[in-house]
Amino acid sequence: MLELALIGSTALLGLAGMAHCTAMCGAACTAITAGGDAGGATVASRTWGFHLARVLSYAAGGAVAAGSMAVLAGWSQASPALRPFWTLLHVAALALGVYLLWRGQQPEWMSAIGRTQRPPAPAAGGWQRVQFPVKAAVAGSLWVAWPCGLLQSALLVAALANGPAGGAAAMAAFAVTSSGGLLLAPWAWRRWAANPAAQVRAVRLAGLMLVGASAFALLHGLYPPFAAFCATL
pLDDT band at residue 57, thresholds of 50, 70 and 90?
Answer: very high
Tens digit of pLDDT for each residue in 178-189?
Answer: 888 788 777 777
pLDDT for res 169: 92
Q: Which range has the worst mean pLDDT, 68-82, 119-133, 168-182?
A: 119-133
Mean pLDDT over 152-173 rounds to 87
Residues ≥6 apart with Cβ < 8 Å to 53? 136, 137, 138, 139, 140, 141, 143
User: pTM value?
Assistant: 0.61
pLDDT band at residue 94, thresholds of 50, 70 and 90?
Answer: confident
pLDDT for res 120: 52
Mean pLDDT over 25-29 rounds to 75
d(CA 102, CA 139): 29
Mean pLDDT over 22-27 rounds to 73
Residue 66 has pLDDT above 60, yes or no: yes
d(CA 35, CA 53): 18
Of 64, 207, 221, 43, nearest to 144 by C-alpha is 64
Q: Which residue has the higher pLDDT, 5 or 192?
A: 5
pLDDT for res 128: 45
Highest mean pLDDT among 153-167, 185-199, 215-229: 153-167
d(CA 163, CA 66): 6
The domains of the chain are located at 2-109+129-231
Residues ≥6 apart with Cβ < 8 Å to 121? none
Residue 194 has pLDDT above 50, yes or no: yes
Residues ≥6 apart with Cβ < 8 Å to 114? 30, 31, 32, 34, 35, 36
pLDDT band at residue 65, thresholds of 50, 70 and 90?
Answer: confident
pLDDT for res 129: 47
